[in-house]
Amino acid sequence: MRAFFDDGTPLGVKGDSRCEIDSLTQSFAVLCDMPDKSRRDMAIKSALEKLVDTEHGIIKLFAPPFTTQGRQAGYVNAYPPGIRENGGQYTHAAVWFCRALIKNGQQDVGYNLLRMINPAYKYGVEKHWQRYKTEAYALSGDVYSKTGIEGRGGWSLYTGAAGWYYRTVYEDLLGITQIENKLYLNPVLPASWKGYTAKLLKDGAVIDIAVKHGTDMQMKVDGKLADFVPLDGENHSVILE
């Protein structure tokens, strides 16, 4: 369920003709660690079935969109069905859904969807770039799902969505997080990856990271077992395998 109208009528219940399912509700059930795993899994499964459109390369914010008929939901009704927040892809939320997939142990699916909404990927697939039409080097804030222009990008150079995309790849997939003056590595890699290498520049120091995909991995910093990488202004070599 998504919300309530002023008179208490619920919005987003099963069978609703508008906004029957909303990716925010589904994603944040996982991101906020709701306790019932079976319901979290069902939320993710339902969103994959009803909101992900692989044919046009989009992850819808919600479905079905609002129309001018019936009860009005405010600002969102100002957009035609399938445009921007009204049932199109709102990229902040699309990235949050990918993040929820990774957190839910479905990193292969999350990674594939991150690739799908990446403009660089779209420009490698003719049917996508012919519709997308915005820059290949910048993330669009929204992508339309309106019939006839599915996959058309809008409101490009959207730094908020790009920032969340960067954080999801950097923190959730690669597993690189900083807490105060310590750097932690907890990668959640797709099965197809053998690992990755990264070179971080932190306050003038170079941190070389090499990760090999596996189970029961141990981290060594400058050849010694460690739980974190100290951010002490010195160069460090980090191996996680």
Cα 227 to Cα 38, 210, 221, 240, distances in angstroms: 32, 15, 9, 10
H-type helices in the chain, by residue range? 23-31, 37-51, 91-103, 107-116, 119-122, 126-132, 159-167
Q: Which residue has the tokens 């520049």?
A: 201
Domain segments of the chain as ranges: 3-173, 177-240
pLDDT of 1: 80
C-alpha 142/C-alpha 153 separation (Å) is: 6
pLDDT of 68: 87
pLDDT of 47: 97
pLDDT of 2: 83
Per the CB < 8 A criterion, the answer to whether 109 and 180 are in contact is no
pLDDT of 152: 96
pLDDT of 3: 87
pLDDT of 69: 84
Q: Is-same-fold flag (3-173; 177-240)?
A: no
Per the CB < 8 A criterion, the answer to whether 239 and 210 are in contact is yes
List the chain pLDDT tens, one digit each, 241 residues: 888 989 999 988 888 888 999 999 999 999 999 999 999 999 999 999 999 999 999 999 999 999 988 788 888 989 999 999 999 999 999 999 999 999 999 999 999 999 999 999 999 999 899 999 999 999 999 999 999 999 999 989 889 999 999 999 999 999 999 999 999 999 999 999 999 999 999 989 999 999 998 888 999 999 999 999 999 999 999 999 9
Per the CB < 8 A criterion, the answer to whether 143 and 88 are in contact is yes
CATH number given to 3-173 = 1.50.10.10
pTM of the model: 0.93
- CATH number 3.10.20.30 is the correct assignment for the domain at 177-240: no
Q: Which long-range contacts (CB under 8 A, 24 or more apart) does 9-14 make?
A: 9/71, 11/73, 12/62
- In eight-state DSSP terms, residue 152 is -
C-alpha 109/C-alpha 101 separation (Å) is: 7
Residues with Cβ within 8 Å of 61's Cβ and at least 6 positions away in sequence, in order, are 22, 23, 24, 51, 85, 87, 88, 89, 90, 93, 94
Beta bridge partners of 208: 199, 237
